Structure formats: structure tokens, C-alpha cells
Amino acid sequence: MVKKKRIKGQKLKRRQLKNYILKTLSSDPESHFTPKQVVKTLKIKNHIDSVTMTMNELSNQGQLIKVKENKYKIGSDNGFSQKSGKTRKGDIQLSGIVDMTKSGAAYIMVEGKAQDIYVSPRNLNGAMNGDKVLINSWTPKGRRKPEGTVIKVIDRSATHFLGTVRILKNQALLMVDNFYNNIDIRIPFRHLNGADDGDKAIAKITDWGKPGQDQFLTGKVETNLGKADSNDVEMNAILINNGFNITFPEEVIAEAEALDGEITKSDVEERKDFRKVTTITIDPDTAKDFDDALSVRLLDNGNIEVGIHIADVTHFVKQGTELDKEAFKRSTSVYLVDRVAPMLPERISNELCSLRPNEDKFTFSAVFTFDKNYRVIDEWFGKTLIHSNRRFTYEEAQEIIETGKGDFADEVLLLNKIALKLRKEKFANGAISFESDEVKFKLDENGKPIEVFVKERKEAHMLVEDFMLLANKGVAIFIDKKSGGVEIPFVYRVHDEPDPDKVKDFALFAKELGFTMKIDTPQQIIDSYNSLGKAAEENELLKMLEPLAIRTMAKAIYTTDNIGHYGLGFDFYAHFTSPIRRYADVMVHRVLYANLGKEPKRWNKQSMEEQAVHISAQERKAMTAERESIKYKSVEFMQGKEGQVFDANISGMIDKGIFVQLKESKAEGLILFSDFNESFELADSKLKAVGNRSNRELKMGQELKVRLLEADLHARQLNFEVVEE
């Protein structure tokens, strides 16, 4: 235990206080301490508010872990922060985007670098998830993976945060509920804007403080939500705290409302007219923004023409406008369980650009001609006009596929036959087939989940997907051919080959579960993954391997440096088909349209790459927000079920315990190793753990019976225990 003789009865300076807090908590790493307990243990005269602020600060740096509100334990990275700007021989300076992990560490996505750079919590120096930063980077001796230290934050990803106000004796705090950024913001009393203790509020950061261990965030309350604890507040908190605004600026709305969707005579003359060609849309039943449509017709020579028509967003959103700036800032629509935070205002996404039935619409199209054997023999890209004859939900289109009956049945069945051929060719050319479960919720009128189910992917879903892939691939190939040997800078969607070490570890584990993989060549890896996908359809245990296999893969990103798309087996691939909800597609539309003429037109590649890095970072943040909303709803669904026993599988492992996923609801929670009757040693692969006394093995995918102990909605966490047989 920490010696207290020299400090008993003293008021410690801040640096001393930090040191003694870390020593106290590290001497008992499994216990949780409140600021009051620290004061009592050290027998010091520092005020509780001062200790609270210091522990919050240490938590922000990753040296402490905030277990619950006002309770802390020692973090794994509990040294003092490296000073900002400190360099060593061999260090290089790079800029990139912060991608935080649950542990408080981060990976920096660096422009032009395939491998992300690891930064420990103590070396983040105040950087937060999504920030653009300048770092020093090096590769530690004896290791292959680079590490880094943040020198400075170039651009903040978020400036507003939603949290709970806490009134202390000398100041107020906004305690932000954020999955990655564990933030407490000091709020001067004069800037509380009427907020009281326990109120939910939105605050803007006014002072980021000095980087390093002395950093304090200061802000002011801009919106006081009062004692709200509703689903609406929690969902908005997820959006705001991940850097997505829930409203559009007034000037953006004004620009959108001023737009005119009328089709003029010159529009008709400049575009290819498909309004008399049978055209349909197929979308989820809840969709309001229909950004793609399919047309099909038989040509006089017996060939088949299929048009893939995409909402022409760039007809309305011009480069450099406030609409364009806001769309780039957001970069993506965010789909939470119960709402959408759109990239574009509803005037555009749900009205002007939505390809609603029985309306003439502006589109940008990829038109393919197929022969009688469904082989592509010709293609055309250009601006068009369409008139959708029928809006189908996926369920309605699936019924036609299964029964052969319904509106436009001939057209739907023909499209499905062509899609089947495209799908077969895709897998023959090296695409990987993985079907991860997508959890969906049925909500009551208050947004509370009353049912959980796994979304089924049927032929109607794959029909649309296959034609979108064809268009995306075709556009990328067109730009490459157009370059004539001199590169046209372009935003590609790329996917690198998997990490060989991860594949090797995964193959060893799969073998333990009875599935043998061949991994000597890239083609063998593809074949093994596809064989696993087929085997998993019949074997529930192998089904648990699919998410692990996906984790061996690199993350798909946007970049101007084309390396192909490994997962799809495409040498050229881009995103062209969803400009209403993805800014990458807006950029692709602009480059493609500019290069439809005889002479190539080129953008500045460096500027385009910087935009691509931002878009990739926004995509990751959106995925984080979407996962958080699913986690929140899963915990909410499990409330009231404490004490019940469920069938589960082990779905993950960390140093302190195992994650389990319930078979029925797919809800995931944690079981601590300390809750077992013996300690466990976690394998380096983190795919199994072995009991130190009994040699009992816990393996990924293993079936267990578990009892729900706690459904903590504040922490968005489920805690279980194993029910021993």
C-alpha cells in the first residue's frame, strides 16, 4: 500500500496528487475507487472536487478507467504522458485521422499508408476519435508494426457534445456519455444556460486547453434538455458525441428549399430519355430516399438492355455551395436503430432526388447491354431522365421471384436471371462470400424494443446488390481506360489482402473446431473462406467463425491509390450508386461526368486524397454510432430479464474476461474471469483461455448457458455469469 506518513494532512499540488492517485489505485488494481475514498485513503486535505477533476483527467488520458459514474480503477497504460513534440532519431512526422478503440488507445489512419499507426492512450495528447492529427511515428525495435505520438491536433472532428450536467462546489461538469472519448467538460457557472444538476445538455467546447497531461476542456451549454432521459435524447447523444449534427445550418436549409426540380426543355435535350422504358425501384419497406432504379427492355436484335439509374445529386448540389460543404463535412448518412441522420436535407434526399414512382426524375445512369446468354457486350454512361413505374419493397419483389406472379413479373424475373449470372461470375473470379447477421428491432410507440430478429437476405436483396456492383465496377474501369496511360485522379473503394499472421492464427483455431483451411496462396485463402461460408450454413458452431474471419480482413477505405478490392475480387471498384447518402459517390459522379467527353479532365490528386481520408474517417464514425445504437437497444431489450438463463456462444475474449452472444436475441455481454472459480490464461491469439488449476478451456464459439446479472443502460453493458452444469 502507498505510504502516507509524509503526505498525511497535506494539500497536494496537482502533479503530486496525480502521482499518489496512480500509486494508490495501482496497488489494488482490481478495486474501484471514488474520489472520496482516495481522500480518505491518502488522508490528504485536497477538496473532493479537486480530486474528482484530477481523476477525470487521468481517465481522459487512459491512465485510469472510469468503471461507472464517479468510480475508477487503474488503467493498463498508467505511465505519465510523453511530452508533446518529443522526438527521437529515426522518427518521422505524418498526418492522419484518429480511430479510437474501447481501451482508450487509437490507430491513426495515415494518408497514403496501408498500415494504421498505433498510439497508446498516454501518447494521444488530448486527441479524440475522428480528429485529424500530426504525429511522430517510429517502429519499436524487434517489432514490425509502427507506433506513434500525437504532436498536435490539426482539425477537431466534433466540437459539440451531449451529456449529463453535474454541479460541484466550485464549478460544473458536463459528463459526456461517449463510447470512445471519455470526456468531462468544465462548464463555468455563468455558461450553464439554466442547466441544473442531472440535466441533459449539449455543450460546445470553447477551450481545448493545453495538450498533454495538463489538458482541461472548457465549454458552455448551448442547449439545455432538462431532466430528459428518453430514447430520443439517448439516440441524439450517440449522433452528437460521434460528431454528427442532428440539424442542418439555416443557410444549408435555405439553399435546399430554393432548389427547383422542374425539368426544362434544355434538360430533355441534354439527357438521354428513359421515361418510356419500364423502370422499377426495390428498397426496404421503411425507405424514403430511393437513390437507385432499374430499367429493362428487350431490343429488336434480341439483346437485353438494363439501365442502372442513380439519383443525380450533383444536378442540385453544386461544388462549393453551403449544401456541398455540409454534405462533405458529414460525408455519410447515419442509420441508427430508430432514425436516420441524413447527409443531405430532406428536401433533396426525400423529394428532389428520391426516385419516387410516377414522377419524372434526373438521373445519372450506367446502361449495359447483355446478349442472350446474359453476357455484357456493351455499356454506356451518362445523364438521363427516368419515370419509375412501380416501387417494390424487398418482400414484394421476393414474392414475385418465388411465385412468378405479380406486377411487372416478367421484368423482375428477367433481372433476377441476369443477376444470378453476374453473381456466379463474381465468385468464379475470386469474390469472398460472408453473410454476417444483421440485427433488427421491432419498437413500440415510445421507441422501446419489443422484439429482436435477424434480417434475412434473400434473392431480391442480392438482385439489387449485383446490379449495383456491376455499375460500380464499370465506372471504375471506364475511368481507368479513359486515362490513356496518364492517371485521372479518382476515388476508389479499395480492400487490401488480409494480414498473413491473422489468417494463420485463425486457420489454427478453425482447425481446432474441425475446419481445415489452406492458406499458402491468396487464392487458397479465398477458397477456404468461401468453403467456410458454405459449411457455416449447416453448422452453427462454424457460423461463429464468420465474424472472426471478417476480422482478419483489412478495412475497406476510400483512396486515390487503386489496389483493387480483395473481398469482391475486382481490380477496379468505386462507389457510384448512393450519392444521396455517401459523399464518395458525389465525387465519383463529378469526375465521371467531366470525363464523358473526348478529353480527360484531372483533379488535384493530393486534395482528392485528403477528401478520401476524411470520408473514410466519417464512415468509421458512422459505423461506431450505428453499433452504439444497436448496443443501447439490445441492453434496453434485456432490461427486466435479470436472473433469467440463456443459451449463448463465446463471441470474443479480452484480458479481463469473455464476451458471450445470446443465440436468440444476439445480445452480447461480458463475463469476467474473476467470476469463475479459478483464474484463466488468455492465449496470444485471444481465441481461447485455459484455466490455471483445471486446464479447462474456453474457446471462441463454445456454447454456454449464462445468467443475466445486470442490464446497465447507462454503461450500455450486459453482465452475465456462467451457469455451471
Q: Indicate if the pLDDT at residue 79 is higher than 80.
A: no
Residue 381 has pLDDT above 90, yes or no: yes
Answer yes or no: do 661 and 644 share one domain. Answer: yes
Across 450-467, average pLDDT: 93
Helix residue ranges per DSSP H, 7-99: 14-26, 35-42, 48-60
How many domains does the chain contain in total? Answer: 4
pLDDT of residue 562: 94
Same domain, 657 and 677: yes
Decide: residue 376, CB within 10 A, 0-12 exposed, 13-18 middle, 19+ buried. middle
Domain boundary (201, 229, 257) is at 229
CATH number at residue 218: 2.40.50.700
Tell me, yes or no, whether 53 and 97 share the same domain: no
Work out the mean pLDDT of the chain and round it to a whole number.
88
Residue-wise pLDDT tens digits, 625-667: 999 999 999 999 999 999 999 999 898 888 889 999 998 999 9
Name all contacts of 214-219 with Cβ < 8 Å and 24+ positions apart. 215/57, 215/60, 215/125, 215/126, 216/53, 216/57, 216/186, 217/183, 217/184, 217/185, 217/186, 218/185, 218/186, 218/187, 218/188, 219/161, 219/174, 219/185, 219/186, 219/187, 219/191
Residue 228 has pLDDT above 70, yes or no: no
Q: What is the CATH number of the domain that holds 132?
A: 2.40.50.140
181 in a structural domain: yes
Is residue 50 in some structural domain?
yes
431-448 per-position pLDDT tens digit: 988 777 788 999 998 889
CATH of the domain at 28: 1.10.10
Same domain, residue pair 168 and 191: yes
Arithmetic mean of pLDDT, 229-238: 82
Do 713 and 658 share a structural domain?
A: yes
The three cell numbers of residue 654 are: 479480452
For residue 566, the Cα-to-chain-centroid distance in whole angstroms is 20
Residue 715: predicted pLDDT: 78
DSSP state of 525: H
Report the amino acid identity of residue 534. Answer: K
pLDDT at residue 89 above 70?
Answer: no
What's residue 1's pLDDT? Answer: 45
pLDDT of residue 181: 58
Span 660-695, pLDDT tens digits: 999 899 999 999 888 888 889 888 777 789 998 899
pLDDT score at 50: 77
DSSP conformation class of 179: S
For residue 710, is it within any domain?
A: yes
Interval 168-194 mean pLDDT: 83
Within this chain, do residues 146 and 172 fall inside the same structural domain, yes or no?
A: no
The residue segments making up the domain with residue 134 are: 92-155
Residue 106 lies in a domain: yes
Domain co-membership, 139 together with 188? no
Residue finishing a domain among 229, 256, 281:
229
pLDDT at 399: 97
Residue 165 scores a pLDDT above 50: yes
Is the domain of 648 the same as that of 716? yes
| % of the chain with per-residue pLDDT over 90 | 50
C-alpha to C-alpha distances, 271 to 157, 266, 385, 459, nearest whole angstrom? 39, 9, 7, 32
* 658 part of a folded domain: yes
- On whether residue 678 sits in a domain, the answer given is yes
Kindly tell me if the per-residue pLDDT of 161 is higher than 60: yes
- Asked if the model's pLDDT at residue 612 lies above 60, the reply is yes
Question: Span 310-333, mean pLDDT?
Answer: 97
Mean pLDDT across the stretch 424-432?
A: 91
Question: What is the reported pLDDT for 85?
Answer: 43
- Bigger pLDDT: 29 or 707? 707
In a domain, 620, yes or no: no
How far lies 154's CA from each of 34, 205, 614, in Å? 35, 16, 13
CA 647/CA 707 separation, integer angstroms: 9
Whether residues 113 and 140 fall in one domain: yes
Phi-psi region of 593 (alpha: psi -120 to 50; beta: other; left: phi over 0): alpha
Per-residue pLDDT of 398-416, as tens digits, reads: 999 999 999 999 999 999 9
Q: Which residue has the higher pLDDT, 214 or 211?
A: 211
Band (179; pLDDT cuts 50, 70, 90):
low
Q: Are residues 96 and 148 in the same domain?
A: yes
pLDDT per residue as tens digits for the range 524-564:
888 888 888 888 878 777 777 777 788 788 889 999 999 99
Q: What confidence score (pLDDT) does residue 80 get?
A: 37
Top-confidence residue, 225 or 61: 225
Do 139 and 146 touch, CB atoms closer than 8 A? Answer: yes
Residue 539 forms part of a structural domain: no
Same domain assignment for residues 33 and 66: yes
Tell me: the pLDDT tens digits for 240-258?
888 898 899 999 999 999 9
Q: What is the percentage of the chain residues whose pLDDT exceeds 70?
A: 93
- Rounded to the nearest 10°, the torsion over CA 475, 477, 478, 482 is 140
Q: What is the pLDDT of residue 340?
A: 94
pLDDT recorded at residue 701: 81
Same domain, 55 and 31: yes
